[in-house]
Amino acid sequence: MDRLRTNRQQKNMCIWIRTTGSTDVKVVYDANLPLSVNSRCVEYRTAAEDDNTGFVELTGLTPDTCYYYGVVIGDELIKTDRESDTGFASFRTLPDTLMKKKAHSGRGIMLLSSQFHEVLSGRLAYAEAI
């Protein structure tokens, strides 16, 4: 788990995915909506020997920026947050300088939180930014 905690950086984000069976998936992402099956993406294949779970690393992101993400299986773009207005889960990359932000502990440690998203689809079980 330590590797996962340190994976969230100014220009990177790791997305944990779990499918109901072995399948090819694409994690699509962008700082702007709407997302589509043609949005910037990273591809991955889940496998039964890994409990149909995997980690997709999004790289080359802009610091201190909100990104939205969705999952594509086949030709279907699966919305990752059924409770939000957009339908897509989001995360914010860390700023270049942590001390310039008010959301820190006073010791230069950024306080982070992740949301867990249950996705209602026959093929995608979960997707989470970590």
pTM of the model: 0.73
Q: What is the pLDDT of residues 65-94, one digit of tens each?
A: 999 999 999 999 998 887 888 889 998 888
Distances (CA, A) of 13 to 21, 85, 110: 24, 22, 15
What is the structure's pLDDT at 83?
Answer: 84
Token pair 């399948």 is found at: 23
What is the structure's pLDDT at 73?
Answer: 92
Q: What is the pLDDT of residues 21-44, one digit of tens each?
A: 999 999 999 999 999 999 999 999
What is the structure's pLDDT at 47?
Answer: 95
User: Which residues in 62-115 belong to E strands, given as ranges?
Assistant: 66-73, 76-78, 89-92
What is the residue range of 74's domain?
2-129
Report the domain count for the chain.
Answer: 1
CATH code for the domain of 28: 2.60.40.380
